[in-house]
Amino acid sequence: MELKQVGEFGLIDLLKDNTIFDSSSVVVGIGDDAAVTLPTPRQLQLLTADMLVEGVHFALETTAPWQLGYKAVAVNLSDIAAMGGTPKHAVISIAVPKHTQLDFLTNLYDGMKEICREFGVNIIGGDTVSSPQGLVINVTVAGEVEPTNLVRRSGAQIGDIVVVTGPIGNSAAGFDLLTKGNWEDYDFAWPLVTAHLTPRPQVKAGRVLAEYGATSMDDISDGLASEANEIASASGIGLIIRAADIPLSPEMIQAAGLFEKQAIDYALYGGEDFQLLFTIKPDQYRLLANQDIGVQLTAIGEVVEKAAGVVLIDRNGNRTALEPRGYNHFR
Amino acid sequence: MELKQVGEFGLIDLLKDNTIFDSSSVVVGIGDDAAVTLPTPRQLQLLTADMLVEGVHFALETTAPWQLGYKAVAVNLSDIAAMGGTPKHAVISIAVPKHTQLDFLTNLYDGMKEICREFGVNIIGGDTVSSPQGLVINVTVAGEVEPTNLVRRSGAQIGDIVVVTGPIGNSAAGFDLLTKGNWEDYDFAWPLVTAHLTPRPQVKAGRVLAEYGATSMDDISDGLASEANEIASASGIGLIIRAADIPLSPEMIQAAGLFEKQAIDYALYGGEDFQLLFTIKPDQYRLLANQDIGVQLTAIGEVVEKAAGVVLIDRNGNRTALEPRGYNHFR
């Protein structure tokens, strides 16, 4: 059945089941002019949005609708995680070509609902409209954070350690595998393709890092080079990153070999890893490193004086300025 | 200059000035992973989103970018108004064709900023991405409301009066004038075209109506017929609406004559008026009618038992069921 046969209100009826996973904070969900929620007293409110456009951010040849729905929410939860916060509610707008099959849309929303269920996030509203061309998805996520746990980009201080929460570059290698064909032939492809299609936001880790006093934090959506520069610029400091210490997965190194690329380039410029990059005082890092927080923390550098910019020290000890090359969606 | 020459980060730099109009509630605005706001203690949080798609919701032949920006925010403020709330913050995502001129985008954002300035709403974040085809704008607005002032669709009670805050149908008549040519030839066209292109959300009226005990409320985005049915259905009651009492502007009646349409049809099925439709107890309505609240209230009917559905009584006293014909953006 096609969307145009049921219309906007019919679609909303189909999608609004199983959207509330933490009812204690929802006063009005889908179905009024606006959603109404009950904030937790004395917490700050967080708000973030990401728009995904067919042909720019995804291609339906390389992603199933369920995966696309999952990722569209995941990238927003990752932004909340990077503030040290807890995601609470999602508002989802989609523009849909009118010949879209209803099955496609229910699968898309099932992916959204799955990640919302996992993270206790309520889908409380949105907009469903027609698109003359491709699919467009905008997800807005509201979250909360205690004032003491808020982690901004701008708090890095000289002497802090620079740390990441997991392997970097897997998503970009997965993208190459998906778009350059035959990835099913390679056993090593699975974790990379999965990292690209259904990234897991580091919400739990973000909370713990905030509690341990992370001084600045970003999620790695645009590549390590870009995010490191964001922190350096916002904090008014410099960063030194040691290439040899950046965690690269063996699978990603295999993929780099297959495509005759430098594995480190996937990590520096690839993006969409959704690991967290953060800075923290050395003594706090030592405390943290002794805990099991469910992710593999790796120190990859230090915060230095501003004049340094972001400097990459390669395996031979050579220092080069690490430019914030990343995605420019307008080229 | 074209967008692709400055890229996403260049665009954000151009647009982020003059975005904070009530700094007391903003902890972090544009420029981090998520925006951070300070909620007012003991208020409920409101969240609403609307997506506008080029070729579906607007055509660049009939709207200037400034007007489009204004309207994209206005429709969301109207949703907050319909809950009895105060809009506080906006998060704006746009997908932009890469050959778009920067002037176009600065004008678009200037329209957004103008209405945000008028209503004290902060632009605190968003996403700027590329579109392979037309322009897509998603605005999410967060607002607040005291628990006692929250007005839902579902609270209408038998015996309530049905009221609107101003003339209905102007926007649809304006749309016909804009799309059927030569509207500049008609003096009566101005208020209609203005109602369509730059609708004013009834935020102040919504606050007062909530304080006076409106029992249910909707903004008229999809036409009076559709909104009346929404209230009837959500409240589990029936409505009687007297056609002769629906306020129609003389300009709209002139436009209907020009296009050989029934003026009442613009009001019932046109949509995008963004007046408020609400129900209220008769004694409360008498109190309200004596106040100057900045809008012209008009009683157009009563709330009756559910079995009635929504009934329109025409000028000859004939009763017909008023079906929720409205926009179906998927046809």
* Superfamily grouping for domain A153-321: PurM-like C-terminal domain (3.90.650.10)
Instruction: Give the model's confidence band at B192: pLDDT under 50 very low, under 70 low, under 90 confident, else very high.
Output: very high
The complex's ipTM? 0.94
B34 → closest Cβ in A7, A83, A98: A83
Comparing CB atoms, the residue among A27, A78, A95 nearest residue B53 is A95
Q: Start-end ranges of CATH 3.30.1330.10 in chain B?
A: 3-147
Please give the pLDDT value at position B326: 63
Return the pLDDT at A326: 63
Nearest by CB to A129, from B31, B51, B79: name it: B51
CB B27 within 8 A of CB A33: no
Burial class for B323, CB neighbours closer than 10 Å (0-12, 13-18, 19+): middle
- Between CA B48 and CA A95 the distance in angstroms is 16
**With an 8 Å Cβ cutoff, are A152 and B32 in contact?**
yes
Interface test with A, best of B138, B219, B325 (most A CBs within 10 A): B138
Q: How far apart are CA A94 and CA B50, in angstroms?
A: 10
Is domain B3-147 given the CATH code 3.40.50.2300 in the classification?
Answer: no
The model carries a pTM of 0.95
Q: How many CB pairs under 8 A join A and B?
A: 243
Q: Residue B106: pLDDT band by 50, 70, 90 thresholds?
A: very high
> CB of A236 within 8 A of CB of A170?
no
Three-state secondary structure call for residue A8: helix
Cα gap B61→B64, rounded to integer Å: 8
Each residue's pLDDT tens digit, B74-91: 999 999 999 999 999 999
List B residues 95-124 in contact with A (Cβ-Cβ < 8 A). Answer: 95-96, 98, 124
Answer yes or no: is pLDDT of B244 > 90.
Answer: yes
| B45-82 confidence digits (pLDDT tens) | 999 999 999 999 999 999 999 999 999 999 999 999 99
What token pair was written down for A257?
């070999």
What pLDDT sits at residue A182? 87
Provide the residue type at A269 as one letter. Y
Indicate the angle between helix axes A65-81 and A189-197, nearest 10 degrees.
Answer: 70
Nearest residue of A to residue B89 by CA position? A47
Residue in A6, A34, A92 nearest the CB of B46:
A34
Q: Nearest CA to CA, how far is B306 from chain A (Å)?
A: 19
- C-alpha angle B308-B313-B314 in degrees, rounded to nearest 5: 155
Q: What is the pLDDT of residue A44?
A: 98
Is A331 within 8 Å of chain B by CB?
Answer: yes
Residues of chain A with CATH 3.90.650.10: 153-321
List strands edge to edge, sheet with A136-145: A122-131, A86-97, A136-145, A44-53, B35-37, B26-28
pLDDT in 10s for each residue of chain A, 331 residues: 887 788 777 777 778 889 999 999 999 999 999 999 999 999 999 999 999 999 999 999 999 999 999 999 999 999 999 999 999 999 999 999 989 999 999 999 999 999 999 999 999 999 999 999 899 999 999 999 999 999 999 999 999 999 999 999 999 999 999 999 789 999 999 999 999 999 999 999 999 999 999 999 999 999 999 999 999 999 999 999 999 999 999 999 999 999 999 999 999 999 999 999 999 999 999 999 888 999 999 999 999 998 888 999 999 999 999 998 765 444 4
What is the architecture, at CATH level 2, of domain A3-148? 2-Layer Sandwich (3.30)
How many residues are recorded in chain A?
A: 331
CA distance B247 to chain A (A): 23
Question: What would the 3-class secondary structure string for A293-312 be?
Answer: CCCCCEEEEEEECHHHCEEE
Tell if the CB–CB gap between B47 and A124 is shorter than 8 Å: yes
**How large is the C-alpha radius of gyration of chain A?**
20
Calculate how close chain A gets to B67, using CA atoms only, in Å. Answer: 21
Q: Coil, strand or helix: which one is A241?
A: strand
Residue B181 — pLDDT band, cuts 50, 70, 90? confident
